[in-house]
Structure 1
Amino acid sequence: MRRGWALAAGTAAVFGVLAAPAGIASADESAQDTINRLQREGFTVKIDRVGSAPLSECVVTGVRNPRTVTSFSPIDRIGIDDDFNINAFNPIVVGRSVSVSVNCAS
């Protein structure tokens, strides 16, 4: 029975790593670089900060809660018979946000 739990835990760990979003933060970039990159990718970035050092001296400790807000716009059905009543909508991304935690304690 113990072996089954170990196998299940190992499998869950592997799939957890594969399911994690890739490339959100990297050890090679500064906190400012990470925030700038996320903003270039279209995210509104909320910064959770500990300490008062300049952002260029901060370390990213976490990136969480990526959210995408989508609105649905009806698609015009020009030339389609009125008896054929299918509602079609086009998804439009209207906003993206993410929270970045940084440690600025020197």
Structure 2
Amino acid sequence: MRTAMTITAAAVAAFGVLAAPAGLASADGKTAQQTISDLQSQGYTVTIDKIGSGPMSACVVTSVRNPQQVTQWVPAVGPVLGNSNRNVLVQQVQSQTISVSLNCS
């Protein structure tokens, strides 16, 4: 059961990364700090490109792009659905990065 949840979680995470950039690019009325905090809470390491020298409170998100995900194949732990062979590998996310551009002029 634990492995099934791990596989399901990995599939959901992979789909979320593919689906996330389109929804994130608009920032939907959020402040720059809220957008960055949301991405960090999703497990991303955020790289910031900033134009202007204004404070973060004056910044506007102009784009969210380049989601990168580093995964590694690891052995599955516990019973695997429909497979009595213990040599099953699943992908595990090791790190995620994304770039945010800000206009702070």
Report the TM-score, using the length of structure 2 for normalisation.
Answer: 0.67
Structure 1 counterpart of 2:55: 54
Question: Superposition RMSD on alpha carbons, in Å?
Answer: 2.5
Give runs of aligned pairs for residues 66-105 of structure 1, distance below 5 A: 66-75=67-76, 87-105=87-105
Task: For structure 1, list consecutive stretches of 5 or more residues without a partner in the other structure.
Answer: 1-18
Count of residue pairs the alignment pairs up: 82
Deviation at 1:20, TM superposition (A): 8.0
Q: Report percent identity of matched pairs.
A: 46
* Structure 2 equivalent of residue 27 of structure 1: 28
Q: 1:103 to 1:77 in 2, by over 3 A?
A: closer
Higher CA-based Rg: 1
More helix by share: 2
Query: Following TM superposition, by how much is the alpha carbon of 1:75 offset from its aligned partner in structure 2, in angstroms?
Result: 3.2
Shift of 1:87: 4.9
Per the alignment, in what secondary structure is the counterpart of residue 34 of structure 2? helix
Q: CA offsets per residue over residues 18-55 of structure 1, 9 Å max, x none?
A: x8834214231011110010001110000000011111
4+ runs deviating over 6 angstroms:
none
TM-score w.r.t. length of structure 1: 0.66
